[in-house]
């Protein structure tokens, strides 16, 4: 379960960078970041993704509507209605439900739109040219942290010609490489009522741990 949480956080960090990086736009490479981030700025966003790291793969979906979010994968499901967060860990036929009022930092681990960090003074942005990713030609933008202690230190962003995000790769300080493939992304959506609250009837819990 720890690995699932790690991969989820990697995704959040990567998408956060795209939502905040337009503030550093100065050259041609940043224009590609502007295009990608514009597609992530609208409320009502649905992102389907696949994260890979050292032979481990995680498929998931993230719904975002302002401060509210819902994360869905095979092993973990999360709902946050703006106040309360329900986290269900699923495995071996036993479902544990954690109920909490998350801190802003905990919310940011899932919802990239809640991060307010400004990256304009933290990264050098360079042009990585073009590269074929899964049969699609992308423009590569390379980000390198100016301080060795800043995480993530090195990130490559792969953007399609229409500004859609194709993939992101992150090299962690311990040398591990996380590859994130955005399989689909839709924005400007209106989600059904109840999308961001725990559906007790659909996912009954064997144990409820209230951490509020």
| 49 band by pLDDT with thresholds 50, 70 and 90 | confident
Tell the burial category of 168 from Cβ atoms under 10 Å away from its Cβ (0-12, 13-18, 19+): buried
Pairwise CA distance, residues 85 & 99, whole Å: 6
Alpha-carbon separation of residue 85 from 5, 103, 137, 196, 209 (angstroms): 15, 10, 39, 9, 12
Q: What is the mean pLDDT of residues 4-21?
A: 60
pLDDT at 120 (0 to 100): 55
Which candidate, 34, 61, 60, places its Cα nearest to that of 45? Answer: 61
20 phi, psi to nearest 5 deg: -110, -15
Note the pLDDT tens digit of each residue in 157-189.
888 888 788 888 888 777 888 888 888 888 889
Higher-pLDDT residue of 204 and 182 is 204
**Full-model pTM:** 0.69
Please, what are the domains in the chain? 2-210 (2.50.20.10)
Note the pLDDT tens digit of each residue in 92-146.
788 999 999 877 655 544 544 433 234 456 678 888 888 988 888 998 988 888 8
């Amino acid at each position: 379960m720890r690995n699932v949480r790690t991969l989820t956080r990697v995704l959040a960090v990567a998408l956060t960078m795209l939502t905040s990086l337009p503030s550093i736009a100065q050259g041609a490479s940043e224009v590609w970041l502007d295009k990608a981030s514009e597609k992530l700025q609208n409320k009502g966003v649905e992102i389907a993704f696949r994260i890979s790291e050292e032979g481990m793969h995680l498929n998931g979906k993230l719904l975002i509507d302002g401060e509210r979010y819902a994360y869905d994968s095979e092993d973990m499901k999360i709902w946050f209605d703006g106040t309360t967060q329900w986290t269900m860990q699923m495995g071996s036929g036993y479902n544990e439900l954690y109920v909490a009022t998350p801190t802003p930092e905990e919310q940011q681990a899932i919802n990239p739109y809640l991060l307010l960090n400004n990256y304009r003074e933290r990264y050098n942005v360079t042009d990585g040219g073009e590269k074929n990713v899964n049969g699609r030609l992308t423009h590569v933008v390379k980000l390198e942290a100016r301080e060795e202690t800043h995480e993530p230190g090195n990130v490559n962003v792969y953007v399609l010609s229409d500004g859609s995000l194709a993939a992101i790769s992150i090299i962690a300080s311990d040398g591990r490489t996380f590859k994130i493939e955005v399989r689909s992304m839709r924005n400007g959506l209106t989600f059904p009522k109840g999308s961001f609250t725990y559906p007790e009837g659909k996912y009954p819990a064997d144990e409820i741990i209230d951490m509020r």
